[in-house]
């Protein structure tokens, strides 16, 4: 089985002995074009159905013996025996049936992050699958939902533990009519960090220990960062070539500030799929649980190299800011083939129409105030409903971050559009399910609660905060 890994960062206060960060291999003198890319995409779940537009798959969460860190086989959790889990690949309009088997020694769920489906299929802690249990997740992929999503466990108080042990994977919804040229190679990159002990097992300190308290405050990070469960893999690109990168941030707390020096980066999408208009960017910020879609155009010379890098980003309170937070990290090596440049493909100026939700139709304005570990001054109570909304109505929510560290806000079941950030209007409407709310700032969103009544989670997606009860419950009726 190939090497794999997950998420987090060695803090200066940790009392454990972590594995060292593995450095990128030294370059040799072989021509770039003679090398094989080392980045390996997760396998795709096999469709058991022969019925058109029906995707039926088996997915099992179980203990496994894996090398999360190269050369260090340890006890892990895995979907279908691999980390990251296999990719669920579907099309708009498909009916999806996931036969889920929980062979873990504890209860779990699968949350289909970003998907619009019935509350009973959402995989929240309200619908636990017990140890040894099984359930079927059944949902239909609606039109205009093409994009990059992901799945992960969402049990009460144990999400961070189970994700750190290896439970996460991608869900890709393909468009019926994709506006981007079919000739563009499509690459999936799942970013996840981890903090590992000397035996290769995840470093998960007791919550009441000094290291555990720092994780609870800061959000658990690790000094090694993996792409598709690999350390410093490589990709090859020809000068002039365009590649489509679907990037998932599966980390518990880390925010990535991504750049590719020496290449042109065009952002074409985020959580809810493609933008209306592509935009050229020098870097892109992706908070934990967010996704981005970017086009990478090779603008370097044949035979040269560059990298996907993570630039410093200060999301922290000063008391728990890691000493190495301001380091730039290489995540992936991008090699230019020695062949002559190719003619770049043309990128459409309009990718898809996105109608702005009408603010004049909003029937309510809600305030969601984030403080440390609390939403509106409360911790989650699964018997309490915090907010209510009528199905078929539109609301404006104001997300206020009252503290000195970033908090990513995630709403289950319903996508939204960001209206403004600290009063600055968004340039155009885009679909989101997660938005980072920087320290001492306010983000306003607009959401329409279509189709499904039930109870839903909204929460900070720093997994330690989520597990500490930084969750509210929305009732749609």
DSSP state of 467: H
Residue 188's DSSP bridge partners are 246
Q: Is it true that 32-174 and 186-336 share their CATH fold?
A: yes
Q: Of all residues in the chain, what percent carry a pLDDT higher than 70? A: 93
Query: Per the omega criterion (within 30 degrees of 0), is the bond before 84 cis?
Result: yes
Domain 186-336 fold is Immunoglobulin-like (2.60.40)
150 closest CA partner among 115, 107, 109:
115
Domain 32-174: give its CATH architecture: Sandwich (2.60)
Q: What is the pLDDT of residue 262?
A: 87
Name the token pair of 400.
Answer: 């206020």
Residues 203 and 14: beta-carbon distance below 8 Å: yes
Looking at the domain covering 359-476, what would its CATH class be? mainly beta
Question: DSSP of 272-288, one letter per residue?
Answer: TEEEEEEEEES-EEE-T
Is the Cα torsion angle 419, 421, 422, 424 positive or negative in sign?
Answer: negative
- The span from the CA of 238 to the CA of 337, in Å, is 5
Q: How many CB atoms lie within 10 A of CB 78?
A: 25
CA nearest to 81, candidates 100, 98, 97, 61: 61
Amino acid 18: pLDDT: 57
Residues 6+ apart with CB under 8 A from 51: none
Contact call for residues 159 and 412 (beta carbons, < 8 A): no
- Residue 466: phi and psi, rounded to 5, are -60, -45
**Sequence spans of domains, the chain:** 32-174, 186-336, 359-476
What integer pLDDT is reported at residue 22 of this predicted model? Answer: 53
User: Residue 103: left (phi > 0), alpha (psi -120 to 50), or beta?
Assistant: alpha
Range in 32-41, 367-376, 405-414 the model is least confident about: 32-41
Residues shown for the chain: 477
**3-state class (DSSP) for residue 244:** strand
Per-residue pLDDT of 261-316, as tens digits, reads: 989 899 999 999 999 999 999 999 999 999 999 999 999 999 999 999 999 999 99
Q: How many CB atoms lie under 10 A from the CB of residue 34?
A: 8
Q: Taking the model in full, what pTM does it have?
A: 0.93
At 399 the pLDDT is: 98
* pLDDT tens-digit readout, 34-58: 457 999 999 999 999 999 999 999 9
- Sheet of 454-460, strands arranged across: 387-389, 471-476, 454-460, 407-411, 434-437
Q: What is the DSSP letter of 432?
A: B
Contact between 339 and 360 under an 8 Å Cβ cutoff? The reply is no
| Residues near 78 by beta carbon (within 8 Å), at least 6 away in sequence | 4, 61, 62, 63, 64, 66, 85, 166, 167
């Amino acid at each position: 089985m190939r090497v794999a890994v997950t998420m987090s960062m060695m803090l200066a206060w940790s009392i454990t002995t972590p594995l060292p960060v593995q450095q990128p291999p030294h370059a040799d003198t072989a021509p770039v074009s003679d090398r094989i890319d080392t980045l390996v995409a997760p396998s795709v779940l096999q469709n058991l159905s022969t019925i058109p537009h029906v995707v039926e798959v088996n997915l099992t969460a179980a203990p496994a013996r894996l090398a999360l860190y190269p050369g260090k086989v340890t006890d892990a959790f895995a979907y279908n025996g691999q980390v990251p889990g296999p990719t669920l690949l579907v099309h708009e309009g498909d009916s999806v049936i996931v036969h889920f088997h929980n062979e873990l020694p504890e209860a779990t769920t699968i949350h289909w992050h970003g998907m619009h489906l019935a509350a009973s299929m959402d995989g929240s802690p309200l619908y636990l699958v017990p140890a040894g249990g099984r359930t079927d997740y059944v949902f239909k992929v609606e039109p205009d939902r093409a994009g990059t999503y992901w799945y992960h466990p969402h049990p009460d108080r144990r999400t961070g533990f189970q994700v750190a042990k290896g439970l996460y994977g991608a869900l890709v919804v393909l468009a019926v009519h994709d506006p981007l040229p079919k000739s563009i190679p499509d690459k999936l990159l799942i970013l996840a960090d981890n903090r590992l002990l000397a035996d290769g097992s995840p470093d998960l300190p007791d919550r009441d220990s000094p290291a555990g308290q720092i994780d609870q405050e800061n959000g658990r990070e690790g000094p090694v960062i993996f792409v598709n469960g690999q350390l410093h893999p490589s990709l090859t690109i020809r000068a002039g070539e365009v590649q489509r990168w679907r990037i998932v941030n599966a980390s518990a707390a880390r925010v990535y500030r991504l750049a590719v020096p020496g290449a042109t980066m065009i952002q074409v999408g985020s959580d809810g799929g493609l933008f209306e208009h592509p935009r050229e960017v020098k870097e892109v910020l992706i908070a934990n649980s967010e996704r981005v879609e970017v086009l990478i155009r090779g603008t370097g010379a044949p035979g040269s190299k560059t990298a996907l890098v993570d630039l410093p980003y200060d999301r922290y309170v000063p008391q728990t800011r890691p000493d190495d937070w301001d380091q730039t990290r290489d995540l992936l090596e991008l090699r230019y083939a020695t062949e002559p440049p190719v003619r770049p493909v043309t990128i459409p100026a309009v990718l898809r129409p996105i109608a702005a939700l009408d603010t004049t139709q909003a029937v309510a304005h809600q305030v969601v105030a984030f403080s440390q570990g609390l939403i509106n001054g409360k911790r989650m109570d699964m018997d309490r409903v915090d907010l209510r909304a009528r199905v078929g109505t539109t609301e404006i929510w104001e997300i206020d971050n009252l503290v000195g560290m970033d908090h990513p806000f995630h709403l289950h079941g319903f996508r939204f559009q960001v209206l403004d950030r600290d009063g600055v209007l968004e340039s155009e409407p885009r679909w989101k399910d997660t938005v980072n709310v920087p320290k001492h700032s306010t983000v306003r969103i607009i959401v329409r609660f279509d189709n499904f009544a039930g109870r839903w989670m909204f929460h900070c997606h720093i997994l330690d905060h989520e597990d500490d009860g930084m969750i509210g419950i929305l009732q749609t009726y």
